[in-house]
Structure 1
Amino acid sequence: MSTATSPSSSSLCSGGICWVTMHTKGSPCCCSFDDYKLTTEWLLNQTAHRPKVAVICGSGLGLLADRATNKQTFRYQDIPNFPISTVPGHEGCLVFGLFGETPCVFMKGHFHLYEGYSLCQVTFPVRIFKLMGVESVLVINACGGLCSDFQVGDIMIIKDHINLPGFAGQHPLCGPNDERFGIRFPCMSDAYSKDLRALVGQVGQELGVRDLIREGVYCMVSGPNFETVAEARMLMVLGCDSVGMSMVPEVTVAKHCGLRVLGLSLVTNKVSLDYSREEKPNHDEVLEICEMRAEVLQKLITRLISRCQQQNINTH
């Protein structure tokens, strides 16, 4: 992967081979298969774990990895070609471990357009997971609630999404298509696994938290500002139930790679739809709600991963 040399660039040497790691932002690069292969081989040489499930954790949600056993952690800055998380609440490390008998990998923090990264950098880890043998991807983020029925602290199962940056040409599949990952024109009408979505409801019922679980349409905006009232009203008209600044690129690439996807959004604030409303959203509030719901989410994800393994649901 070619990146411009900058003060933030670093190199990592192992076995006589030196790599310039992708610690620069804003590179309009298109990652090559060799870039993905190099990073994958480095990780496979560093860990005995062979994950089947990848969990991508958004702001304040990295605590979900804490219940894993036999853990092995790698800082992003130590992994060849990996970007670095710059957002508060994104710890910036890969955690390999076991949930029950299921080998998993957790991203404690992910990457965003608003940090200055290109979409090939934002989605770089997903293709690494594919090459490592991952079959299912769980993407969990914080969102603002648009639907009037949603309350702060609710957990929304994502049944569909609207990719606003994609409408403007900011799409992770733009550029040359590598058939080794997927076809040129992937179908996205079934991006989120129906089986996994149904399983969330079942597990929520078993845990006694079904009242916290909603289902809806998520909209991605590029950020980093929270939405204006006019923008929020427009999103309501478009049929959006929640809005956030991440996740859709990773979901798109995961689906392109043939991975099974589940998306969950934690409602951390109510989006303002009224000019007279005094409350203003802020990132500290997002992190507080994530901490409040950490235990519920940990239990939910733990049982979800275990149940997926037991039922051996097909990866489609």
Structure 2
Amino acid sequence: MATTSNPLDDPAADPFEVARRAADDIARLTGVGHHDIALTLGSGWGKAAELIGETTATLPADEVTGFSKPALEGHVGTLRSVRTPNGKNVLVIGARTHYYENHGVRRVVHSVRTAAATGATTMVLTNGAGGIKPHWKPGQPVLISDHINLTSDSPLEGATFIDLTDLYSTRLRNLAHTIDPSLEEGVYCQFRGPQYETPAEVRMAKAIGGHIVGMSTALEAIAARQAGMEILGFSLITNLAAGIQTTPLSHAEVIEAGREAGPVISALLARVIGAL
């Protein structure tokens, strides 16, 4: 069980052992000993869990070792086990720890490492983000083709060298395209946050090859690759980025865009999960 003192805050702790303990908690509390797929639900994507299949168990994330309640409105703070019609078990993570919360990278990627410890070999990461391409509209889902990590941090510790070629699986992106051929792709830039990017920072992101700006996902994707998982990433464009959009940015705008787009993007995500 999780306690007020998070074991990941101990520098001497083995984060993979903590993840194994968390996986044991999930198996005990859900009655599901193995998961095949893991899905992290970012802003706007929460309704997808209802459409994937039959929910067999739901539990507060803070009952699981290493997890804590999410700090951000729009994240539900639960872990859910869902059985798809084709018999696969999906671990739905509604408890993301963001890098800007200053809990350390171990806490940020704990959900991914836990998912791998439950047996999941596919990691689907979703987020709400700002779009740089001016023709993108709020409420539009975009596949992540690659990322640029602007946090100056990494979940890898010591001399751990992990290849990130094809980090966001070409195979899974092609599968998503068969379900919705209109899906566009873009390179995601993870900024530290929690402040939104300045127009100059958005111009920088564009200049170095970015199309999407946000505050999550990249560190999680690196940890998922280290764990040997195949990764699919989706961004919901909740707004155009600063300098592209002329009005001020707000979290309320992000939540509203997610609420309006929720039924469409959730149905899309459920169809993709069903095809995995």
Give the TM-score taking structure 2 as reference length: 0.92
Q: Which 5+ residue runs of structure 2 have no aligned equivalent?
A: none
The C-alpha deviation readout for 1:246-265, integer Å capped at 9, x for no partner, is 01111100011110000000
Equivalent residues of 1:72, 1:96 under 8 A apart: yes
Count of residue pairs brought into register by the alignment: 272
The answer to whether structure 1 residue 34 and structure 2 residue 2 are counterparts is: no
Higher relative contact order (CA 8 A, sep 6+): 2
In structure 2, what is the equivalent of residue 216 of structure 1?
A: 186
Which amino acid letter does the alignment assign opposite residue 166 of structure 2? D
Larger radius of gyration: 1
| 1:71 match: secondary structure | strand
Structure 2 distance, partners of 1:284, 1:30, is 39
Which amino acid letter does the alignment assign opposite residue 56 of structure 2? K
The C-alpha deviation readout for 1:19-69, integer Å capped at 9, x for no partner, is 6355599x4736413322222212212223222110001123222212231
Q: 2:264 aligns with which of 283, 296, 306?
A: 296
The answer to whether structure 1 residue 255 and structure 2 residue 255 are counterparts is: no
Equivalent residues of 1:61, 1:108 under 8 A apart: no
Structure 2 distance, partners of 1:84, 1:193, is 30
Q: 1:46 aligns with which of 23, 29, 32?
A: 29
Q: 1:131 aligns with which of 117, 121, 131?
A: 117
Equivalent residues of 1:76, 1:82 under 8 A apart: yes
Structure 2 distance, partners of 1:153, 1:31, is 41
In structure 1, what is the equivalent of residue 64 of structure 2?
A: 79
| 1:20 match: secondary structure | coil
Structure 2 distance, partners of 1:232, 1:239, is 11
Fraction of identical pairs, as percent:
28
Structure 1 distance, partners of 2:11, 2:44, is 29
Equivalent residues of 2:186, 2:211 under 8 A apart: yes
RMSD: 2.0
Give the TM-score taking structure 1 as reference length: 0.81
In structure 1, what is the equivalent of residue 207 of structure 2?
A: 237
Q: Which 5+ residue runs of structure 1 have no aligned equivalent?
A: 1-11, 13-18, 178-183, 309-316
Structure 2 distance, partners of 1:263, 1:229, is 25
Q: 2:50 aligns with which of 66, 85, 91?
A: 66
| 1:123 match: secondary structure | helix
Which amino acid letter does the alignment assign opposite residue 172 of structure 2? L
In structure 2, what is the equivalent of residue 203 of structure 1?
A: 179
Structure 1 residue 185, shift from structure 2 partner: 0.9
Structure 2 distance, partners of 1:106, 1:134, is 11
Structure 2 distance, partners of 1:241, 1:174, is 29
Which amino acid letter does the alignment assign opposite residue 151 of structure 1? K
Structure 1 residue 186, shift from structure 2 partner: 0.9
The C-alpha deviation readout for 1:197-245, integer Å capped at 9, x for no partner, is 011111014xxxx2xx210100000100111111111111111001000
Structure 1 distance, partners of 2:7, 2:69, is 8
Which amino acid letter does the alignment assign opposite residue 126 of structure 1? V
Structure 1 distance, partners of 2:7, 2:116, is 24
Structure 1 residue 150, shift from structure 2 partner: 1.8
Structure 2 distance, partners of 1:119, 1:157, is 24
Structure 2 distance, partners of 1:297, 1:152, is 12
| 2:180 match: secondary structure | helix
The C-alpha deviation readout for 1:45-97, integer Å capped at 9, x for no partner, is 22232221100011232222122313311111211221321111111110111
